[in-house]
């Protein structure tokens, strides 16, 4: 998954969510992707409790994960406290043309 694909997935999930549980809940990333194809993602970490976040969605990185975005329902509490997805422009990246 590239950064653009990640952004497209987040935007699509948020736009299509019929319930709060269907909104993006957590981003799981394999370490290979985090140091490779997603190395340009600018995450933020306001506190240890909030963890690393991209566009206000928590990012969990480990060698055992498959890189994907889980809904809040699928995340089953991981990624909490849940927040509203911020626009791409607020994530330090340029919006699509």
Cα 65 off chain centre by: 14
3 state DSSP class of 12:
helix
Tens of pLDDT along 33-45? 999 999 999 899 9
Provide the token pair at 37.
């194809």
Angle at 7 (CA atoms; ends 41, 1), nearest 5 degrees:
70
pLDDT values of the chain reduced to their tens digit, one per residue, 97 residues: 999 999 999 999 999 999 999 999 999 999 999 999 999 998 999 888 889 999 999 999 999 999 999 999 999 999 999 999 999 876 654 444 4
Provide the token pair at 49.
């409790």
* Rounded-to-integer distance, Cα 78 and Cα 75, Å: 5
| pTM (predicted TM-score) | 0.88
Cα 94 off chain centre by: 17
């Amino acid at each position: 998954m590239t950064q653009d694909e990640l952004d497209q997935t987040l935007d699509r999930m948020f736009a299509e969510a019929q319930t709060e549980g269907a909104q993006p809940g957590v981003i799981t990333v394999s370490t290979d992707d985090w140091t490779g194809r997603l190395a340009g993602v600018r995450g933020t970490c306001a506190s240890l409790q909030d963890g690393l976040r991209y566009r206000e969605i928590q990012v969990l990185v480990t060698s055992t994960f498959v890189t994907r975005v889980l809904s809040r329902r699928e995340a089953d509490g991981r990624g909490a406290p849940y927040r509203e997805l911020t626009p791409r422009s607020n994530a330090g990246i340029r919006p699509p043309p």
